[in-house]
Structure 1
Amino acid sequence: MKTKPFYLAFGLVLQFLVPALGQQTFNVIKADSLVQELITPEVPGGAILIAKNGEVLLERYFGSTNLEQKSKTDELSLFRIGSLTKQFTAVGILKLVQEHKIRLEDSVGKFFPNSPGWFHSITIKQLLNHTSGIKNVTELPNWKSEIESSKLSIEDILSLIWKEDLYFTPGTDFHYSNSNYIVLGRILENVSGLTYSQFLSNQIFGPLGMNHTYYDDQQTVLPFRSEGYSKGTSGYQNDTFINMELPFAAGGLLMNLQDFRTWKNALDSGNVIPDSLLNQAKTPATTSKGIEIGYGMGWSIGEIKGQRSIKHSGYINGFSSFEISLPYQSVFMVVFTNLENWWNLEKNVSLIIAEALGDPFLTSSSTQIATKDLEQWIGDYRDINQETRRILLQEGHLYICYPGGSKTRLLYEGNRNFQLENSLVSIEFNNSSSESFTYSDLGIPRQFKAVNQLPKDEWIYKRVILNEDQTQEYLGVYQFENGPQFIIEQLAGKIYGAVGKDKKEIVPFNKDHFFAKELDAILRFYRDENQQVIGLIKIQGDGEMKAPKNNK
């Protein structure tokens, strides 16, 4: 594995550990250790860069760009960047706005006279922030099996899009759609009179000296091109073919790490578009219903441990990439890899940044809090989208779930802050009366307000101990009406409920009442006049199901 040195001098290392005014220290040694632990063992090859205040802190090249030829990854290695392409398309559109050639409020139908009527109700801005409602072509049922490897043209893709219904009325909601940026690419071409590739080369790549960035195609021989891979049952395998004309302005670029750094520095310096336009692109959009979404124009917006983040992932056949900036901390990180669908990439990058900034995510609860104090936060909470989260107290710990869904333990950080176990999601109760909390999941934080406060004992589950005779009363086969059999059995001292091979532990907490340890579900047993258990009622979410006991 080839590693480019990242410590140039002892004095420079010390400089990295001194924060600017109002900023946290970034521990590059910790970051490098985590890169080697979380990223480098997972992929065939890749490239990573971390910078702060425009200065490179860490730059690593590892693994291979071609496993068959065993060629090493280095600073010249080219990677497909997938949806990171969208920021280049968005900036291209904003350059046309700057030149007064188009307006963000222009109707998309203006540029496609033969398009269906509904196309004319969509604006350029709605394409940029994914509030257009246009069907995502890569979500069509036959995308993987037929379309992506076909010889279809962009005109063919547009025809497919026009035949599909909208997800929703334009502007009213958010749905990430590659189709939006395919349409934007064609607008760039129609207005400029150039191909998409020519426009980017003339307006961005050439002026910035990005000499190793290309609009990808399979025919052109490019030195230092990385081969893409996916994980199979027996190891890495070559990626599946995709006609690179189809990702187009939504995901068609190929570049090396150095060029991406050049791009980032030029953007931040105001050398591509004015700050006023770039700030619009990096500001969360709002739907016509007044709901803020986690997307601007070419970038997603979120948070890491309370710090605003500007980011985007890129997934395409054989490759995964991710870039993120924390503006207040002036920290930037980008990762290119030649492994397809590496979904843990954003999580791992977020872990590295939080740890290096000295505010790590919890892996276990280190702050103690009395069980009685946890009771104040029990209840149902709902956000502006009418999504509900339920908080329960189970065996001395708080758990969060969708009503009727899987439970996740909340780890207490102190000062009314909790983190969901084995995740990067956190919640912060806004006051001690449990009226609301802020839910942060690396995206835009959401506010949840209390909507239903049941009597506290309804959602407090304390295990009770049954003797053997008591346990035997509940064991057996139960038959849900018009549904499957439900078998209750005892294994190694624990009681389980099973439907087929799906087996979940159930725990007694009151007479004839059990809670499911992993799910928000209650089993309430009922008896006959002789006090024999003759059936149960499963209460899960808003529904109840009755299951008489089969005593045969």
Structure 2
Amino acid sequence: MSQLTQRRLLLQSILALPLAGCGGGGGGGEGALASERVLPQVSTQPAGSSQGAIPAVDDMVQQQLLAQRIPGASLVVARSGRIVYAKGYGYADLEAATPIQVEQRFEIGSVTKSFAASAIMLLVEDGLLTLDDRLEPYLGATPAAWNGITIRHLLNHSSGLPEYPDDAFFAALERDQGFSTAELLARFKTHGLAFPPGSSFLYSNTGYDLIGLIIQKVSGQHYGEFLRRRVFQPLGMDSARLMAPNESAAGNAIGYEIVAEQRRPHAYNSAERNYLALAASGLQINALDMAKWDAALYTERILKRATLDLMWTPNSLMQAANATTPDIWYGLGWQLRTQQGHRWVYHSGGMPGHVVDFIRYPDDQLTVIVMTNLDERHANARVIARTVAQIIQPGL
């Protein structure tokens, strides 16, 4: 089986990642850095904060990185939209022994979906489309089976579209065969549906990739440029960008994968970067800028309160399709959960070299952002994020 096909199967296997957290960590060591028992830490004190050390948090993160063999992590904790703790742990570059800093970008994977959904909702607020619009006006002629699909179905994963394209598509990417937007759309249109639109739930990256194409059609701008102008620039999220084939690696935490028990940098070819830069998973952002996004969600700086409330309303179809996780829901671009009486509005994301967890407890006005630079097969960012939250606020 080819490496990319293996990766595709692994990506498919993390359907549970956005729903229940990432997979478990491995053990073992390699080289001098991996045998260290104390990893470097770099604190950041944002303007207006009064950050002091929280030993219980620092010790726990250290232990998790060592146990899971994660090279490094970036952590930000915010209260009521203000950063109260920000620290980097471990390494952004193992070979150069460069410590992680919270200013460094990580690939945020499916956390991107909350931004894609927000872009659509901005267009709804602008009066340029509605959630119940069919796809043809924006994507051209579609297969007969797609006739009932609406934008809402794409956003809440009830379209019936598959999680990912077919094996032939991934084989082409492995050969570094790129696809134009028109070619991608034509290939997506060959997909059948797992069920009639609006009748069940199936997590679909394909559906969110189509969301990006709709944004481009309606706005007249590339999806990434629309986000830059309407979200990132107004909020001062200067680190935020889409993956690109020839981007500079400056400012990025290197993403690692474990192969034959050794950690090595994960490398994409240009075609893979182009595909992954679609609306399902393509953003790179640092943790400080994610905190700016969190702060905006307490206000109407980007989206109206009624719009946010709609996005955070559960899709009841998910429960019938996921009987093993009855307390986990999906809204419009956001995962939703209530545990021990505390509401979560969150999303997680896994990539071949990074795993991120972004958990908001809106009623408690607490947010925890954890970014790690190890692949989704081995890194468990959720256990770190949840434990941090419980240290900061016992009982969560």
- TM-score (norm: length of structure 2): 0.80
Aligned residue number for residue 353 of structure 1 = 389
Mapping 1:11-30, distance limit 5 Å: 29-30=55-56
Aligned residue number for residue 235 of structure 2 = 208
User: What secondary structure, in the 3-state scheme, does the structure 2 residue paired with 1:137 have?
Assistant: coil
Between the aligned partners of 1:109 and 1:252, the Cα distance in structure 2 is 25
Residue 119 of structure 2 is aligned with which of 92, 104, 113? 92
Mapping 1:172-321, distance limit 5 Å: 172-241=199-268, 243-247=272-276, 248-287=278-317, 294-321=329-356
Q: Is the 8 A contact 2:86 2:102 kept in 1?
A: no
Between the aligned partners of 2:311 and 2:78, the Cα distance in structure 1 is 21
Between the aligned partners of 1:297 and 1:83, the Cα distance in structure 2 is 13
Mapping 1:10-159, distance limit 5 Å: 29-39=55-65, 42=68, 43-137=70-164, 140-142=166-168, 145-147=171-173, 149-159=176-186
Aligned residue number for residue 2 of structure 1 = 41
Identity of aligned residues (%): 26
Mapping 1:511-526, distance limit 5 Å: none
Between the aligned partners of 1:244 and 1:144, the Cα distance in structure 2 is 12
Aligned residue number for residue 334 of structure 1 = 369
Amino acid at match of 2:273: M
Between the aligned partners of 2:319 and 2:354, the Cα distance in structure 1 is 36
Q: Is the 8 A contact 2:371 2:381 kept in 1?
A: no
Offset at 1:355? Answer: 4.6
Note the alpha carbon deviations across 1:307-332, whole angstroms, 9 max, x for none: 11111111112111110011121110
Between the aligned partners of 1:188 and 1:263, the Cα distance in structure 2 is 20
User: What secondary structure, in the 3-state scheme, does the structure 1 residue paired with 2:273 have?
Assistant: coil
Between the aligned partners of 1:298 and 1:285, the Cα distance in structure 2 is 11
Between the aligned partners of 1:91 and 1:231, the Cα distance in structure 2 is 34
Between the aligned partners of 2:41 and 2:199, the Cα distance in structure 1 is 49
Offset at 1:235? Answer: 2.0
Amino acid at match of 2:317: T
User: What secondary structure, in the 3-state scheme, does the structure 1 residue paired with 2:128 have?
Assistant: coil
Between the aligned partners of 1:61 and 1:354, the Cα distance in structure 2 is 19
- TM-score (norm: length of structure 1): 0.58
Gaps of 5+ in 2: 1-39
Between the aligned partners of 2:66 and 2:214, the Cα distance in structure 1 is 39
Q: Is the 8 A contact 1:31 1:353 kept in 2?
A: no
Alignment CA distance shift 1:237-1:288 (3 Å) = closer
Between the aligned partners of 1:54 and 1:36, the Cα distance in structure 2 is 26
Alignment CA distance shift 1:262-1:10 (3 Å) = closer
Between the aligned partners of 1:79 and 1:39, the Cα distance in structure 2 is 16
Q: Is the 8 A contact 2:318 2:330 kept in 1?
A: no
User: What secondary structure, in the 3-state scheme, does the structure 1 residue paired with 2:375 have?
Assistant: coil
Structure number with greater CO (CA < 8 Å, separation at least 6) is 2
Indicate the structure (1 or 2) with the bigger Cα radius of gyration. 1
Aligned residue number for residue 364 of structure 1 = none
Which structure: greater helix fraction?
Answer: 2
Offset at 1:303? Answer: 2.8
Between the aligned partners of 2:71 and 2:121, the Cα distance in structure 1 is 36
Amino acid at match of 1:120: N
User: What secondary structure, in the 3-state scheme, does the structure 2 residue paired with 1:268 have?
Assistant: coil
Alignment CA distance shift 1:313-1:290 (3 Å) = closer
Between the aligned partners of 2:65 and 2:309, the Cα distance in structure 1 is 31
Gaps of 5+ in 1: 14-26, 361-552
Note the alpha carbon deviations across 1:150-174, whole angstroms, 9 max, x for none: 3123433322322122011111111
Alignment CA distance shift 1:315-1:11 (3 Å) = closer
**Count of aligned positions:** 346
Alignment CA distance shift 1:290-1:236 (3 Å) = closer
Amino acid at match of 2:215: L
Q: Give me the CA root mean square deviation.
A: 2.8
